[in-house]
Amino acid sequence: MMNSSWKFSSSPLLSLSGSCILFFLLEVTAVHGATYYVATNGSDSNPGSLNQAFKSFAKGVSKLQPGDTLYIRGGIYTEQIDLQTPNKTGTAGNYLTIAGYPGETVTIRHANTSVASYGSIKARGNRGYLKFENLVLDGADLGNKTSGMQLRDGNHHIILRNIEIKNHKGTALGITANNIEVVNCIFHDNISEVDQAGERHYGIYFREGSNVLIDSNKIYGNSGGGIQVYPGPASNSIIRNNEIHHNNNMTSSNNEGIIVMQNLGNTITNISVYNNLIYLNGVNQSGYAHSGGIRVTNGVSGTKIWNNTIYGNKGWGVAIESSNTINSLVQNNIVYGNSAGQITDAGTDSILSNNLSVDPKFIKPDSFDFRVQAYSPAIDGGIDLNEVLIDFRKVSRPKGTAHDIGAYEHDGSEKLSVSAPKDLLVQ
């Protein structure tokens, strides 16, 4: 049935407070600097131009100043990108950019000796205004412990765009930093060797920070959960438009597609989770049954769960746990077919409304097409949310008389020639 139960909250219903800070703190490069190139057939005695590229990352990085760009030509590299020796950083308005050359595939396979090692990119510490784009970090066959990428130890103002991190024996991306943007990336098939607590490993492990944007990523096949926000402090951050599926195949783990959980002494506030597709997490587990869609717990406050499609997960679709978890908003979500149940709420001053837990009439759920058919009860069934004016595909909302429920706004693009059933009753 459509969930319309409410718990009154004295806080403003639709406030996002600091979340909008994201859009002006992550400014774009204002000054165009020099451009250098690295290629597998280059030479460090070259000038680093497009036709006479450097051979090594070290040589290319040594030339960089704020506002500069280093393009890496296609190929497989085993060298580490090291911005710590020498110390390299961008400045406000002058991002330092390291990117794969447009239209070419750059794969970096740098070996590690422990899961806490730097990985293919060494850029921790008080450095920021950095962009990394169009790179594949591949941990396949690099040994027993391999690291993905860690943003920490004072990192700030870093943009990851079109980065693929795969096949590591550790978490793909760790975030302990402020003012981070992760967009259009893919984090997949990062595994745990030991199948026990402490070695779960995630697509994204957001430990602490503020003004973090996780947008339009694909996160799948990771041994632990998809995105974990824990232990805090964390605030004013957005998780939106991501496709999170088939994570968590460990018998010892109960981590959801997205989990927001603070630890004793820390606070996590104002995390917005919307327009995500979260499906079939935990379904490859054996013997464990609590890897659901979204879980919010342990005193987190002000979490907004809006317009997500949450389907077929092995556990609750949405679980608001513990009475000290306060002011959660759960609205306009399709929550259907999850094995433990659809929505459970043990929080304080939660607001739940306009969530759909009957058959939403997906177009082809077996093929993971979670758009809805023309007669779906999700159409025009939501409340208007000014913070969610586009859908998962960037289609504007609303198309009808009200916002649709779920990650997709129905726009007539489905082509099924199915007659609408008669006497459809929505409660």
Per-residue pLDDT reduced to its tens digit, 366-418: 999 999 999 999 999 999 999 999 999 999 999 999 999 999 999 887 664 44
Q: Where are the alpha helices (DSSP H) in 28-67?
A: 57-63
Q: Provide the residue count of the chain.
A: 427
Residue 142 has pLDDT above 70, yes or no: yes
For 93-118, what is the mean pLDDT?
87
357, 3 contact by CB (below 8 A): yes
What are the tokens at 215?
């947008």
CA–CA distance, 70 with 132 (Å, rounded to integer): 10
260, 239 contact by CB (below 8 A): no
Residue 163 has pLDDT above 80, yes or no: yes
For 69-73, what is the mean pLDDT?
98
Strand partners, 110: none
The pLDDT score that the predictor gives to residue 21 is 44
> 245 pLDDT band (50/70/90 cuts)?
very high
Tokens 């990119």 belong to residue: 121
209, 275 contact by CB (below 8 A): no
The pLDDT score that the predictor gives to residue 140 is 86
For 55-59, what is the mean pLDDT?
98
Residue 151 has pLDDT above 80, yes or no: yes
Instruction: Enumerate domains of the chain plus CATH numbers.
Output: 7-284 (2.160.20.10)
The pLDDT score that the predictor gives to residue 259 is 96
Q: Strand 355-356 and strand 2-3: pairing?
A: antiparallel
Task: Look at residue 19 and give its three-state secondary structure.
Answer: helix
The pLDDT score that the predictor gives to residue 86 is 92
| C-alpha neighbours within 13 Å on the C-beta side of residue 391 | 24
For 177-199, what is the mean pLDDT?
84
> 195 pLDDT band (50/70/90 cuts)?
low
The pLDDT score that the predictor gives to residue 22 is 46
Could you tell me which residue, 291 or 266, shows the higher pLDDT? 266
Could you tell me which residue, 372 or 111, shows the higher pLDDT? 372
CA–CA distance, 171 with 177 (Å, rounded to integer): 16
198 contacts: CB under 8 Å, gap ≥ 6: none
| C-alpha neighbours within 13 Å on the C-beta side of residue 294 | 35
> 194 pLDDT band (50/70/90 cuts)?
low
Task: Look at residue 58 and give its three-state secondary structure.
Answer: helix
